[in-house]
Amino acid sequence: MLKNNLGFPRIGNQRQLKRACEKYWSGKISESELLETGKTIRLTNWQLQKEHGIDLIPSNDFSFYDQVLDHSLMFGTIPERFKDLNKTDLYFAMARGYQSENQNIKACEMTKWFDTNYHYIVPEFQAFQTFHLNDTKVIDEFIEAQNAGILTKPVLIGPITYLLLGKVKNADFNALSLIDRLLPVYLELLNKLHKAGAEYVQIDEPFLGLDLNFFQKETYRTVYHKIKNELPDLKIILSTYFEGIEDNALAALNLPVDTLHIDLKRAPDQLDNILSKIGPHLKLSLGIIDGRNIWKTDYQNAIQFVQKAVNQLGEERVMIAPSCSLIHVPVDLENETTIDPEIKDWLAFATQKLIELNEIATILAEPNSPLLARNTVSITKRSTSTRIHKPEVKKRSLEISDKELKRNAIFAERKNLQKSHLKLPDFPTTTIGSFPQTKEIRTLRANLKKGIITAENYEAEIKRHTAEVIKWQEELGLDVLVHGEFERNDMVEYFGELLEGFVFSANGWVQSYGSRCVKPPIIFGDIERLKAMTVAWSSYAQSLSAKPMKGMLTGPQTILQWSFVRDDQPRHETLIQLAFAVRDEVADLEKAGLKIIQIDEAALREGLPLKKADQDAYWNHAIKAFKIASAVAQPETQIHTHMCYSQFKGIMDKLADMDADVITIETCRSQMELLESFQDFQYPNEIGPGVYDIHSPTIPSVLEIEQSLEKALKVIPEGNLWVNPDCGLKTRAWPETEASLKNMVQAAQNLRLRN
């Protein structure tokens, strides 16, 4: 039985790619040194997969920044504004923008890859868009592996998925209508790969698992028939993941491809349906190992799927595989030396998942292999561990009362109470929470970790920074202050470290975008807050100022979304446990005298299921969790929430259901979308649409900010409008932060004089 791998992490086991890219960008290494790093990572990955017995080893899964961007370069989807740049400059310019003495070229848009925290560079299609084979990366890498003695399976994003991932700019047409222009380029590429010796090619079409209309399904049919006609002998593995293909099963199963890959972790139920409809030739690649999570595979369970398929199709028509590319999990568990050994035994990172694939194949061939018993021991230990289950926690989340879900007063009443309680001017100004995490602060934390400074030293230093930034905000004239979040490494990790039920890896990095990697905490057990997490910092901060200070918390959905979540209970049960932990913190902050508490839900939209049919259930849980977290606050306490995205069309009503007193959102890059959203639905509570983009060092002028505010006033009632940047200022430097906020405060003052 063939062992198929869809993709392997390309950041390197010590984030070598990140380091090399960042050094290249700052001019510290040459282009050829950068390329050499890429080459080493590719060879290492291929070799590793070969050693672990993988039969279908992917190539072209490597990328210096993003695989979608690679495809855009390959097809010549290059927006006009970049046309004068040379090759490597062009590549990174599209990803990150380009500044020189006389040029300032805006980067392409970046957005989340389906429901993951990986971000891709959005292809831009223009009127009269054409495509041509602009570079041969996929062929070059295939040959590179061949020269190293490894026959790989090149991976391509499918033409339909590629078009659906893109955006039409400055024109009005359906991106999919470009298919007739794009397909010839795919055919040319596939021909070249075939000639170079490729036996299999993996074509990723995750959109096959999503809601498709008739035209889209029809396009799938015609495209894959054309590919088959042109290349009858090339074996195509059509890969779906992140959702089941049930809704499109007939369309998918009738495509003339060699193999269909299905995700049996996300959608285990689809197998029966597929087996009942499958024709006489199609092979299946069964995604039985979780490519999105870090838990050890339950072999017994995985094998049942395989046997079911084999019974019907025979061994020759079945492959086994991870559910999706392994880029969503860290590289190697062997690098972890600090995770508690009991828990480490329950985990598998990308390298371990290769081993699992190999072991499952062995067990299928030799059912008496001791490998199965060994796996069963770990699985049983995890399911019976007393460290996971806490009856008190479970009980509380099963018995939620109406009272726990509702504030004591409706918004209109709360608004009045808060008005007299907080005494804020019209158009109050505030920031989202964090201030620049300078090198000095990061060094403090590193030194604490290394034992170079004591906890007391560290705390004293952080206090000093906090006090300074509070005084500084008062001088600037901000109305609602924040403590700056200097004590936090990360908005999720910080809370995870203070809660029961989490463990942390030391090197469990996963690519988020380009050179940026994240290290998600691991939720292994029931969540419990044994003691207050932020009260000491927030009440210290409040004691330094007569102005209201915002207590600053990360919301339950965001903690869940940015962690590896346990898979032994439904996600929403873990969510509710997190919500209660936040609720207790809100209550304690209020008791400590904080009059405003912000619960950040930066990742609320990111968690939205890909299929419409699942979305209502998601909102129900997410809103319930937010209410559990926030409704404990007294009417005069003002609850804020913050969200990091700008697409609100169709979800304004959900945000309203959350019933936060104030919501701050990221809108400055698309004021228009805000206007559109408000046409569908008038948001009833107070709102702060970010008035400037913190993702760039550019300083907004007073006039620009005023204009944004005037625009916002067209759709937001005067008494409901707040003035704030669009996100936290953690990644910015001080000079631009100071200049920008000064202008922001001035703009609010000008507005007050006029209105």
Q: How far apart are the first and last CA of the chain?
A: 73
42 is in an annotated binding site: no
Identity of the residue numbered 304: Q
CB 689 within 8 Å of CB 716: yes
When CB distances are held under 5 to 8 angstroms depending on the partner's kind, the choice from ligand GLN, Zn ion, none that residue 247 binds is none
Rounded (5°) CA angle 114-119-120: 90
* Cβ proximity to ligand GLN, 248 vs 557, nearer residue: 557
CB 309 within 8 Å of CB 318: yes
Give, in order, the Cα–Cα distances in Å from 522 to each of 234, 242, 299, 554, 626.
41, 20, 21, 16, 21
Q: Which residues bind ligand GLN (CB under 6 A)?
A: 432-434, 485, 491, 552, 600, 602, 642, 644, 727-728, 730
When CB distances are held under 5 to 8 angstroms depending on the partner's kind, the choice from Zn ion, ligand GLN, none that residue 407 binds is none
Phi, psi for 357 (deg, rounded to 5): -60, -45
727 is in an annotated binding site: yes
Q: How far is the CB of 694 from ligand GLN (least distance, A)?
A: 9
Name all contacts of 417-425 with Cβ < 8 Å and 24+ positions apart: 417/635, 417/636, 418/635, 418/636, 418/637, 418/638, 418/661, 421/595, 421/636, 421/638, 422/548, 422/595, 422/596, 422/638, 424/479, 424/480, 424/548, 425/479, 425/752
Residue nearest to ligand GLN (CB): 728
* Cβ proximity to Zn ion, 602 vs 716, nearer residue: 602
Q: How far is the CB of 485 from ligand GLN (least distance, A)?
A: 6
Q: What distance in Å separates the CA atoms of residue 304 and residue 312, rounded to the nearest whole number?
A: 13
Q: What distance in Å separates the CA atoms of residue 551 and residue 97, rounded to the nearest whole number?
A: 35
562 is in an annotated binding site: yes
* Cβ proximity to Zn ion, 267 vs 644, nearer residue: 644
283 is in an annotated binding site: no
695 classed as catalytic? yes
When CB distances are held under 5 to 8 angstroms depending on the partner's kind, the choice from ligand GLN, Zn ion, none that residue 303 binds is none
Q: What distance in Å separates the CA atoms of residue 5 and residue 654, rounded to the nearest whole number?
A: 39
Q: How far is the CB of 598 from ligand GLN (least distance, A)?
A: 7
When CB distances are held under 5 to 8 angstroms depending on the partner's kind, the choice from Zn ion, ligand GLN, none that residue 730 binds is ligand GLN
* Cβ proximity to Zn ion, 203 vs 727, nearer residue: 727
Q: What distance in Å separates the CA atoms of residue 737 and residue 732, rounded to the nearest whole number?
A: 7
516 is in an annotated binding site: yes
* Cβ proximity to ligand GLN, 433 vs 688, nearer residue: 433
CB 485 within 8 Å of CB 552: yes
Q: How far is the CB of 550 from ligand GLN (least distance, A)?
A: 9
Q: How far is the CB of 111 from ligand GLN (least distance, A)?
A: 16
Using CB under 5 A, which residues numbered 715 to 734 contact Zn ion? 727
* Cβ proximity to Zn ion, 227 vs 644, nearer residue: 644
141 is in an annotated binding site: no
CA 549 to chain centre: 30
319 binds Zn ion (CB under 5 A): no
Q: How far is the CB of 743 from ligand GLN (least distance, A)?
A: 19
What tokens does 642 get?
A: 């913050």
Catalytic-role residue among 194, 389, 421, 695: 695
644 binds Zn ion (CB under 5 A): yes
Of the ranges 83-91, 312-320, 373-381, 644-652, which one interacts with Zn ion (CB under 5 A)? 644-652
Q: What distance in Å separates the CA atoms of residue 563 and residue 113, rounded to the nearest whole number?
A: 17
Which residues are CB-neighbours of 256 under 8 A, at least 6 positions away? 224, 225, 228
Q: Coil, strand or helix: which one is 625?
A: helix
728 is in an annotated binding site: no
324 is in an annotated binding site: no
Residues that bind Zn ion in the complex, under the rule CB under 5 A: 602, 644, 727
Q: Which residue numbers are catalytic?
A: 695
- Positions at the binding site: 18, 112, 117, 432-434, 485, 516-517, 562, 600, 606, 642, 644, 657, 666, 727
